[in-house]
Amino acid sequence: MIKKSLISAAVAASLFALSSTASADAYLHNWFIDPDGSAGVAGKTSVADYLNISGTSFIQNTFSAAPAPGVAFSFQEAANFTSSTTGAFPVNGFAPGVTGKFTATGNGTVGGNLSFSGGLLELYSGSAATAFGTFELQSGEAVLAPGGLVPNGFFTLTFKALTLDAGYLFDSSLKDLSNIVSDPNGLLFGFSTTNATELTGQTANAPLVADYSAKYGAPAFGTTDNGTTSLYLGNGGQYRLSVPEPSMLSLLGLALVGFGFTTRRKSKV
Percent of the chain whose pLDDT exceeds 90:
28
**What's 168's DSSP letter?**
S
- Of 119, 162, 109, which Cα lies nearest the Cα of 140? 119
pLDDT at 142: 61
- Judged against a pLDDT cut of 60, whether residue 204 lies above it is answered with yes
User: How many Cβ atoms from other residues are within 10 Å of residue 52's Cβ?
Assistant: 18
Alpha carbon 105 to chain centroid distance?
A: 13
N residues, the chain: 269
The model's confidence at residue 67, banded by pLDDT at 50, 70 and 90, is: confident
pLDDT at 51: 85
pLDDT at 94: 62
Residue 216 pLDDT: 95
Q: What is the pTM of this model?
A: 0.79
Helix (H) / strand (E) element for 51: namely: strand 50-63
State pLDDT tens for residues 154-169: 566 778 889 999 999 9
- pLDDT at residue 151, as a whole number: 43
Label residue 73 by pLDDT band (50, 70, 90).
very high
pLDDT in tens, 74-129: 999 999 988 877 776 555 566 657 889 999 999 988 877 788 889 999 999 877 88
pLDDT at position 59, please? 92
pLDDT digits (tens, 9 = 90+) for 37-46: 876 666 788 8
Q: Are strands 189-191 and 45-47 parallel, antiparallel or unpaired?
A: unpaired
**Is residue 242 predicted with pLDDT exceeding 90?**
no
Domain boundaries, the chain: 2-252
